[in-house]
Chains A and B, each alone.
Chain A
Amino acid sequence: DAKTTQPPSMDCAEGRAANLPCNHSTISGNEYVYWYRQIHSQGPQYIIHGLKNNETNEMASLIITEDRKSSTLILPHATLRDTAVYYCIVRFTLSGNTPLVFGKGTRLSVIA
């Protein structure tokens, strides 16, 4: 089972920041936090990942709390194309083949 808890759905106005929370209170020291999204029935799309420091890339920012028990994915200026299901996944990665365990994710609706 997934080791994360996410709200089932969220709305965000177009152009505003979308802040998607994730709880992972049982995360261990060797586990990374990964975020993927799935637009309609397309393949999951990698967004960002981190261990304990905040991370930013061209798609999003990832804020991880100091105790690592929760994180927030931030889409700085949401567009209609960001409407998708967003998955927060905790993953042990000392080797390269750990499967991703998907939960139900958060369905983000970006509204014009």
Chain B
Amino acid sequence: EPEVTQTPSHQVTQMGQEVILRCVPISNHLYFYWYRQILGQKVEFLVSFYNNEISEKSEIFDDQFSVERPDGSNFTLKIRSTKLEDSAMYFCASSKALAYTDTQYFGPGTRLTVL
């Protein structure tokens, strides 16, 4: 069964450094998403992406965040200058973009630790 994959599984970085989290969505899916979960808190929506542009973003997704689909298979989340509070699990998801009913499938996540 096709799955969303994410790399790396764990990323440790110093505050102020740039990080890129990578995702390979399910191959025939057209919508891509990033969510994050700070330890012990709810899963929060960051951004959705369709047709090579951002469809929707939350208040969390400020100027230090960016997303890109650099090729036909990868979907990336870049954090330009990491802060301590960016430490979280980051989940990528994808969906087929069907009207009326559309299921998002999540990857296993990347644990980002900012020191």
Seen from chain A, the residues whose Cβ lies within 8 Å of a Cβ on chain B are 32, 34, 38, 41-46, 49, 51, 87, 93-104
Contact at A96–B31, with CB atoms within 8 Å?
A: yes
Complex contacts, B97 vs chain A, CB 8 Å: 96-97
Question: Chain A interface mostly helix, strand, loop or mixed?
Answer: loop
Seen from chain B, the residues whose Cβ lies within 8 Å of a Cβ on chain A are 4, 30-31, 33, 35, 37, 42-45, 48, 50, 55-56, 58, 89, 91, 93, 95-109, 111
Contact at B106–A103, with CB atoms within 8 Å?
A: no
CB-based closest 4 A-B pairs: A43-B106, A96-B97, A99-B45, A102-B43
Contact at B43–A44, with CB atoms within 8 Å?
A: yes
Complex contacts, B95 vs chain A, CB 8 Å: 96-97
Complex contacts, B4 vs chain A, CB 8 Å: 43
Contact at A102–B101, with CB atoms within 8 Å?
A: no
- Counting chain A CB atoms within 10 Å of each CB, the highest count among B33, B37, B98, B103 belongs to B103
- Please tell me which one of the listed residues A41, A94, A101, A104 contacts residue B100 in the complex, with CB atoms under 8 A apart: A94
Complex contacts, A102 vs chain B, CB 8 Å: 42-44
A sample of 24 cross-chain residue pairs with beta-carbon separation below 8 angstroms, ordered by A number, consists of A34-B103, A41-B89, A41-B109, A43-B107, A43-B109, A44-B43, A49-B101, A51-B101, A87-B43, A93-B102, A95-B102, A96-B30, A96-B96, A96-B97, A96-B102, A97-B50, A97-B55, A97-B95, A97-B97, A97-B102, A99-B48, A99-B56, A100-B43, A102-B42
